[in-house]
């Protein structure tokens, strides 16, 4: 029985892991959040690891408030780099295999083709800088493990674009959404399931690997919003605007589509198309699932 520690289990990705526990009976899960394990406290992390000796660590925790990070760079670095260092250092003592979730924000968004794993990161925001620092911290501590960069993550749990759009449409009936930023929406359940499916093969490789994972297809935020509202059947008008018309404190990558051929070829997985997964999530929200 492989013992899997999941951090950040009350977030949107961590909550999806909780739903998948019964589908993967060969794994024994330790599901934790800050009340159970404060990953910013190395002493606490080391004690926890020595007690439970996890075979795998899946780090879903992190600072994800992109705009707020511009005003709280130390706090963002604390959670996105230092906590990763703690997990990796403690994991190295127990020979734990670590899976860390990173982001498209490590890139500047100036590519004219989908980003590959070997493209050079160049973040344009504090959030992106701290996530890249977390990747580097993990690589400096561990000889084997896996970083998965994902993009435009959403779920029926937590705070995310889909839930915000549907809520605001229900309240206002009209919204402005940017149409000149492009990426690939990713249903958190698809990502969680993919990680658990590829985990045995990844662990046996004894390598350090970086992969890109997002649902298939690409769109603008405007197209993403329109599709969500259409599926939900809300009488809401979505107006297309450019980035200049919707200023934010943190700069966003204008283009962050991923090339996913490496993870598909390495593990033989099939990745769902983003519209189909969005239908599944909106249905979850319609019947009252999530939080």
Which residue in the list 127, 154, 213, 255 is annotated as catalytic?
127
In order of 30, 84, 101, 158, 281, the CA distances from 62 in angstroms are 18, 9, 9, 13, 22
Classify residue 290 as left (phi > 0), alpha (psi -120 to 50) or beta.
left
- Tokens 């605007």, residue located: 241
3-state secondary structure (DSSP) of residue 85? helix
Task: Decide: 150 and 213 in contact? Cβ < 8 Å.
Answer: yes
Alpha helical stretches, state H, 206-272: 221-232, 261-267
For the chain, give the number of residues. 291
Rounded to whole angstroms, the Cα distance separating 228 from 170 reads 12
Rounded to whole angstroms, the Cα distance separating 99 from 159 reads 22
115 is catalytic: no
Rounded to whole angstroms, the Cα distance separating 255 from 107 reads 9
Give me the active site residues, please. 127
């Amino acid at each position: 029985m492989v013992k899997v520690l999941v951090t950040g289990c009350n977030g949107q990705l961590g909550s999806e892991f909780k739903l998948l526990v019964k589908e993967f009976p060969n794994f024994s899960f330790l599901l934790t959040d800050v009340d159970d394990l404060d990953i910013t406290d190395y002493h606490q992390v080391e004690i926890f690891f020595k007690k439970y000796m996890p075979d795998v660590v899946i780090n879903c925790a992190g600072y994800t408030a992109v705009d707020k990070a511009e005003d709280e760079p130390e706090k963002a670095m604390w959670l996105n780099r230092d906590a990763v260092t703690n997990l990796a250092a403690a994991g190295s003592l127990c020979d734990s295999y670590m899976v860390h979730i990173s982001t498209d924000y490590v890139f500047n968004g100036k590519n004219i083709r989908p980003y590959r794993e070997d493209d050079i990161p160049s973040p344009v925001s504090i959030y992106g800088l701290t996530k890249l620092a977390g990747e580097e911290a993990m690589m400096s501590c561990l000889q084997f493990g896996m970083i998965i960069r994902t993009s435009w993550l959403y779920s029926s749990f937590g705070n995310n674009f889909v839930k915000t759009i549907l809520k605001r449409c229900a309240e206002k009936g009209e919204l402005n959404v940017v149409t000149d930023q492009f990426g690939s929406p990713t249903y958190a359940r698809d990502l969680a399931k993919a990680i658990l499916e590829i985990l045995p093969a990844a662990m046996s490789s004894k390598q350090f690997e970086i992969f890109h994972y997002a649902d298939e297809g690409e769109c603008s935020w405007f197209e993403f919003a329109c599709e969500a509202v259409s599926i939900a059947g809300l009488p809401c008008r979505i107006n297309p605007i450019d980035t200049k018309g919707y200023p934010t404190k943190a700069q966003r990558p204008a283009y962050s589509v991923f090339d996913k051929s490496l993870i598909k070829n390495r593990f033989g997985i099939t990745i769902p198309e983003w519209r189909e997964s969005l239908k599944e999530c909106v249905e979850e929200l319609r019947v009252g699932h999530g939080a």
